[in-house]
Structure 1
Amino acid sequence: MSSADVIGGNDDIIMEILLHLPAKSLIKFKLVSRKWLNLISDPNFVLRHYRQSPKTVSAIILSCFMPLDFEAPQTYMYVSLDENQNQNSIQSRADFFSFDPSAPGSIMISQSCNGLLLCYSENYGLPTGTYYIFNPVTNKFSIIPEPICHGNSMINYFSLAYEPTISPFYQVVCLQFYNSSCESLVYSSETETWKDSKNQELEFFSADFHDGVYWNGGIHWLLTSDGTSFRFDIQQETILKVPMPRPPLAENWNPHNLRHFMECQGHLFLIDFDCPEYVIYEMENDRSKWLVKHRLDINLIVTAFPDRLDINLIRNRGNSCNSVLELEKLISPVSLVEVENEGPSLVMYIPGRFISYGFKDNTFKTIGEAKFYESRLGKWYHTFNYMETLSYV
């Protein structure tokens, strides 16, 4: 018997090999045989694959806001961080949400959480749209049933909580605001039902509850004008106030300078612009304080890419803060990612190009060219870190 036959007949060896392959490859290998299909589809294999796979961001999905055409379907751009893929021209992904059974092209992303996307489509005239949980790797989706509306609900906000190292099931939290109070409802994919949580006194304008970020057992919303943030604790099923500690945030910190608030590979970050620097803060695991992790002077970006950014604008105005602010309008920090063997990198968009800056070796790298409007005409108003997963929806 050949060594290939020995390996092919040993399920344990096959499983160990498959566990080291990326999720997209495993989807293709399901077609090899019924045996491989059953093995890769097994929930225990899916869980082991997630736990064993490196928790690296494989791509960034960007929502493009083009103010000149409000009636056009939402456009998304898929920026792969895989160096083995051809990145010479990063295209928009019109086919990314082809799963929409009712109105192709109308799906919008609300949140990305450990490989799953919370998406929705508008149901005009109704208090809520249709919400989906979508896994782009498997191209599978589930429709979240509409929650029961308590009272005359003014507005509903939905957020996704998913931590496959703890449970293969996800939860969707719905906040219903009415009459200066907030009703929390929690949907579980395990029971496929909604349950009421807690009614609390809370105004819907207390924070921007559109942009929930799941991290460390809770969904976080940032920021209010007085520096307070909110957290929905998954175990307690209640909304808690999280005071924004100062310092280490600058005493004159202005929430309007916030460029991004995100979870990345088990860490919670915010990116602030404090002229002339981008300052990256990380929240302590016990949520007690923010720590300054990285700084990047905008002048370094301008010097590295003079063909894309007008370096003379700084030179002629003597590095004044006003000239730096003009240049900063052309730069969009996209995300902070941890690159294997390279450490943390800040991904940015400058006119016509995606670039990254590695804080470990202090070097810039071009990710790819982007066929998109100059940033004066269009802005990334939402970015979503994405990692591949076999997880069920």
Structure 2
Amino acid sequence: MDAVTELSRWMMTEGRRSGDPVKVVSRFCTELIAAGVPLWRVNIGQRFANPLLIAWGVVWTPESTESYDVTHDVMLTDSYVGSSFEYILAHRRPLHKSLRGLDPEADHISYHEFAEAGGTDYYATLLYYGDESMHGCTFVTQSDSGFTAENLQMIEASLPGLSCALEPVTMRKSSRSLLRTYLGDGPSDAVWNGSIKRGERTSLEAVVMFTDLRGFTALSDRASEEEVFETLNTYFDAVVQAVEEAGGDVLKFMGDGILSIFSVADGSSRAGQCRQAARAAQEALSGLARVNGTRAETGRPPLDIGIGINAGRVSYGNIGSPGRLDFTVLGAAVNLASRIEGLTKSTGHSVLASTAVAAAAPDLFASCGYHSVRGISDPIEVFCLRGPGA
């Protein structure tokens, strides 16, 4: 067991400090092999505290070591139901199973896949963390003799060291993924780094895009809660995907409104970000058209949105009370984007932009004349996005 002692020492020192799960798992597996454990495939699964992702992990084979993510949807499929991960987490005990003589009907498909690839024996067990959470790991061998009792003893003896190395990685990944889920990439990085505290703000040049769902109040009054949530989620999916693929950050959901920004920083230009915002708006409309095609098949009315785009200086940061903060973006440029979006109702155009945006991308926009907006004494010129549906 001297090899396990040395491996544990490395895990609790250099491995823990590395913050690199691929490096940690690779070292874990190679050291166990050197100690006589005949590993062929190892999967170290880590559970997430995240509404979008439920787990992540690292798979080791002699050829490569790779990380992966697991969404909540996977937990409802045959990939998880009936698997060893489900078993050990439900029963809170290890599972040792021969891969020879499997039952075609009763045994999980993963066992058959490993057996077909040459696997002979399988072991699944648990990692325990300081917050009382449990995580799973599986081991497969191609050895003719399978895993011996001594092999399994060495694996179990090395798991506390592995937990010590991976727990801080898991905690950091969970925290960062939560921030990214609720704040977007740019703002989450700023909050994580501690560069934006309560009351502090960052001023920057940005293109602001405000999106609103038409007829939401009427939908809320006549539809069930389930339908309202399903409708919002499909609408959010279309817009968020379009914004993120164009390099923007979705900062906030406000009822049925979506506030997004395209920061002019790190070498990007205002003209370039105006074009990206226009691209996002067009893609959002295309995505919504696909949603409406599906809705039409089930006899539901189409969804309609309005999008307002403006460019200028904005300030973002944390605001709120000492015990509860909200990350938001403020400024005249944000207000005008919202008010321009409001004009889509009367102009008949789904996407409208300010002069600041149209001047930066004149080939993408056409003038829709001058219109009065609340808070500005003189009418302003607004521009519609060229192209179908805009």
The alignment's TM-score, normalised by the length of structure 2, stands at: 0.22
The structure richer in strand per residue is 1
Which is greater in Rg?
2
The alignment's TM-score, normalised by the length of structure 1, stands at: 0.22
The structure richer in helix per residue is 2
Which of 1 and 2 has higher RCO (CA within 8 Å, sep 6+)? 1
